[in-house]
Structure 1
Amino acid sequence: MRTKIILTAFVLLRGLAVGAQSIDSTTIQSLEELWRIALQKNGNQQVYTLQRQKAEADYKTARSFLYPQAGASFNGLDFLELATTPVPGELVGQPGTTLDLQFGKKYQYNAGLTMTKGLFDWQKKFQAQAAKENIALTGAQQGAFEQSLKTQLAQYYYSWQVANASTDIFSKDLALADSILKLANQKFSQGLIPITPVNKAQIDYNNVLQNIYQSEELKQLALSNIKKLTGIELENDLVLRQETDLVRLYTNVPELGIDRNLLVYPHSIASADHQSKAARAAFYPSLSLMSYTGSQQFRSDFGLSLQSSSWSGYRYLGLNLNVPLFTGFATKNKLQSATIQKQIVEVQFKDAQKQSAINDNALKTSFSNYLSMTNNSKKTFELFGENLELARQQYAEGLISVDSYLKSFEDYLSAENMYLNSLSNLLMVQASVNARK
């Protein structure tokens, strides 16, 4: 009766707490469904999507050098003092003299359209290629994050599965521990056994109850972390479906998919290579074409006329060649820095490949070991369960003592703990494997 009261009160309190806090409910049927929700709602995932959009916008900006640039302009000039030009007197009928004359009018207005087009600019070309590569780099980084996100979600999902299954097992254990404790108290009150077996039975009962509390705490912790990773609101009640047969997850050592963290490095190397080429291209000359089409108006008095007869056409076409000669070693140092950065990424890639190979081998080994340990401990757990049932029958028939019955129960609990630990470890490895598919 005491066991039923404890379990019933515990369940009711949880239900009341959830009911008071929950507004909506989200039911998850599988790990794959959990992944789909996380990929849609996870905050960091949304940031990566925005970063990819930003990279695409940056690439379009970098390609703008391919198009001509056009701009309209209007300006007015007030020549406070016109320039003086020496002129031979012969031009004005005064031979043998030189006259200082001023030409032009005091006010000048210009209105027109300026167009420029780069013909050869290798630096901007390589910068555009680097911007394009950055799109692929951002996508690869997002893929690596998704792998990490799936791994974490799978670990918390399996943690909840084991904790939830453990709660059911521990509830049955608690009922059995309670019955053994009652038997021990009865025998003690009759003076048939000393206090030691009673204390043992009480300790076993307390340990099982402690296991129930720990399992519930693990379940709540797993649900909280799942909410954080999936973007589900705190007030939303998250419900996971219990896997009916966790044993079906046990397979042979799997073939691992590619580690998506490694896919980031080739794009980083390519981007660094484009940056290095862009830095080198700063030594190259650039060639651009420019044209101006407009009109001018000259006036002696302040004012502006909009009549077409008051304006005179003004057009020109120019070619601009820019040859870098000396930049205070800045260009040289930038090239050296870009080259070193590429070398750094290449070294990091080689090291990451080695580390990934080691981790993959360790992952396969751990999976194989935990698979064997889980299958073996499960068989042992089942055998101890059979022994416990046999001990219960023998005790009821008076064939064994309370001490022997308690020993069988404690052996059963020990085997149960070993099995659940092995199962938990296996599923943590399984989480990493599943995320690589």
Structure 2
Amino acid sequence: MLLSIKQALGIFACVLAFGSPLVGQTSADTLRLSEADALRLGLERNLNLKSGRLGVDKAETDKRVSLARLFPTLSLGGQYGYALKKQIVYFGGDAPEGGKGGAMNPFAGLASEGIEMGQTHNITGSFSAQMPLVNFQLWESLKLDKLSVEQALEKVRSSEINLKGEVRKAYIGALLAEENMRVLDFSLKAMEENLKSIKLKYDKGLVAEYDYIRMKTQRDNLKPTLASAEAQRKLARMKLLVLLDYAPETPLVLTGNLLKDYESYAVQPKVKTDEDVSLEDNAALRQLRLGLRQIDEGIKVKRMEYMPSLGLSFNYTYNFASNLLHLSNHRRWSPSSNIGLSLSVPLYTGGSTRYGLKSLDLQRRQSLIQMTETKNQLNLQRISLEENQRQAVVQYTASLQAESSARKGLSIAQVRYRSGQGTVLELNDAELALRQAELNKNQALYTLVIALCETDILLGR
């Protein structure tokens, strides 16, 4: 009984020591991704988006900096001075003998040595406040800062749209590589089975050596294609992982399927017409429009340099002056205060404001030309994407028909070959036709989905 208890405790300890890390390893090292998971991780982990969001925070902070200039600025100051040598003031005593200086100068009879002025110790404490009352340029600059925040937000929105499009394209590209790999792998296994069957017949003398060599050659020719597909599969996975800010060697399992998840796009195509498509939400156009508004607001801010400004100031000072540093002597402390208005009227700035306005006007013209050119390019891109979608739907429909015919042809070729009526050449051609039809179907569906992704990016969705 005692031995069995010890054995049980030993087994339990082994499970705790070795079992738990193995379970954790399988769950932690492998990344399972659906398209929704990939989009979510991309928005959470992408470094470019993180930088863009920090740019929004910076624009908000800059806006608060400008807003703070509307409020009073308060400051405290203090100063201590020690007189090493006091100033000497002369009031008279320098009139020439027999002159009339004494009659004209009431201090002429005083001693000529001079009098020391000031105190040995001087302490000053001050409180000051300034506040703008009228500042047209500052008021207009607040609107410009608000537009800067909108521009930063639009850049983040544009980055999110582009990122979602790139993640979707990378995910679908990885699914295409998976599906092509499956087709080629299935074709290779079918050839291996056919080769075994033909080898048995060849060994028994039922088929010619040419048939065996022909099938073996076709099998060997498929292996480099399969190796190339495997390399493309690895590259597609690495591209997706890097886009999501993961290490390229991270184990990855894609839970999606190209045909099951996206075949509905081709069965019920939603190709937009000119009336259905609007470029108003296009990220590039929105940024150009915001940039144009910023230029217009910058022109207003520049014009405000011609306007006067009015400010309010207040100052309160407490002074101490004495030859003895007795701070408790309240009679030596004397307060003073003043309040005032300051008016500034710009008269001449050397033409800097005028030329600044001219520069902004030229920049505005450039933006208008750039916006027109961008619209033309976007319209051309929209037409191209619509045509790509139509062609992809046609190709997918044709590839479905070709696949159906190829499957039927392969079935007939297999029956004919087994019955001795067909040749291995017919069987090889039928298998090649089916494989090519499946690859064409995958490529057509991929082209359609990619065109839809690029259309979403173009329309700012």
Q: Where on the TM-score scale, by shorter chain, does this alignment land: which range?
A: 0.7 to 0.9
Cα shift at 1:84: 5.8
Cα shift at 1:294: 1.7
Cα separation, 2, equivalents of 1:338 and 1:304: 63
1:252-287: CA deviation from partner (whole Å, max 9, x where unpaired): 234457323322222222222222222222232221
Q: 2:47 aligns with which of 20, 36, 43?
A: 43
2:317 corresponds in structure 1 to: 294
Cα shift at 1:240: 1.4
Alignment of 1:57 with 2:70, yes or no, is no
**Structure 2 gap ranges (5+):** 1-23, 95-101, 109-113
2:269 corresponds in structure 1 to: 252
Cα separation, 1, equivalents of 2:372 and 2:176: 38
Cα separation, 1, equivalents of 2:439 and 2:218: 13
Cα pair 1:21 1:235 within 8 Å, conserved: no
1:33 corresponds in structure 2 to: 37
Cα separation, 2, equivalents of 1:188 and 1:373: 41
Matched residue type, 1:39: L
Cα pair 2:177 2:236 within 8 Å, conserved: no
Q: 2:118 aligns with which of 96, 105, 111?
A: 105
Alignment of 1:116 with 2:130, yes or no, is yes
Cα separation, 2, equivalents of 1:144 and 1:407: 49
- Which structure 2 residues correspond to residues 151-190 of structure 1 after superposition, within 5 A? 151-182=165-196, 190=205
Cα pair 1:35 1:150 within 8 Å, conserved: yes
2:433 corresponds in structure 1 to: 411
Q: 1:280 aligns with which of 303, 306, 310?
A: 303
**Structure 1 gap ranges (5+):** 1-18
Identity of aligned residues (%): 17
* TM-score, normalised relative to structure 2: 0.79
Cα separation, 1, equivalents of 2:214 and 2:325: 110
2:29 corresponds in structure 1 to: 24
Cα pair 2:238 2:249 within 8 Å, conserved: no
2:347 corresponds in structure 1 to: 325
Cα separation, 2, equivalents of 1:420 and 1:401: 29
Q: 1:109 to 1:25 in 2, by over 3 A?
A: same
- Which structure 2 residues correspond to residues 87-102 of structure 1 after superposition, within 5 A? 95-97=103-105, 99=107
Cα separation, 1, equivalents of 2:220 and 2:455: 37
Alignment of 1:149 with 2:157, yes or no, is no
**2:285 is paired with a residue of what secondary structure?**
coil
Q: 1:426 to 1:200 in 2, by over 3 A?
A: farther
2:448 corresponds in structure 1 to: 426
Cα pair 1:384 1:408 within 8 Å, conserved: yes
State the superposition RMSD in angstroms. 3.2
Cα pair 1:286 1:321 within 8 Å, conserved: yes
- Which structure 2 residues correspond to residues 7-18 of structure 1 after superposition, within 5 A? none
Q: 1:407 to 1:227 in 2, by over 3 A?
A: closer
1:50-99: CA deviation from partner (whole Å, max 9, x where unpaired): 11111111100011121011111112456766486979x9xxxx642265
Aligned length: 413
1:162-207: CA deviation from partner (whole Å, max 9, x where unpaired): 2212222222211222234445666777495464x55543443234
Matched residue type, 1:379: Q
Cα separation, 1, equivalents of 2:334 and 2:172: 83
Alignment of 1:334 with 2:334, yes or no, is no
Q: 1:314 aligns with which of 336, 349, 358?
A: 336
Alignment of 1:129 with 2:149, yes or no, is no
Cα shift at 1:108: 3.8
Q: 1:73 aligns with which of 73, 77, 86?
A: 77
Q: 1:115 to 1:401 in 2, by over 3 A?
A: same
Cα separation, 2, equivalents of 1:426 and 1:61: 49
- Which structure 2 residues correspond to residues 336-351 of structure 1 after superposition, within 5 A? 336-351=358-373
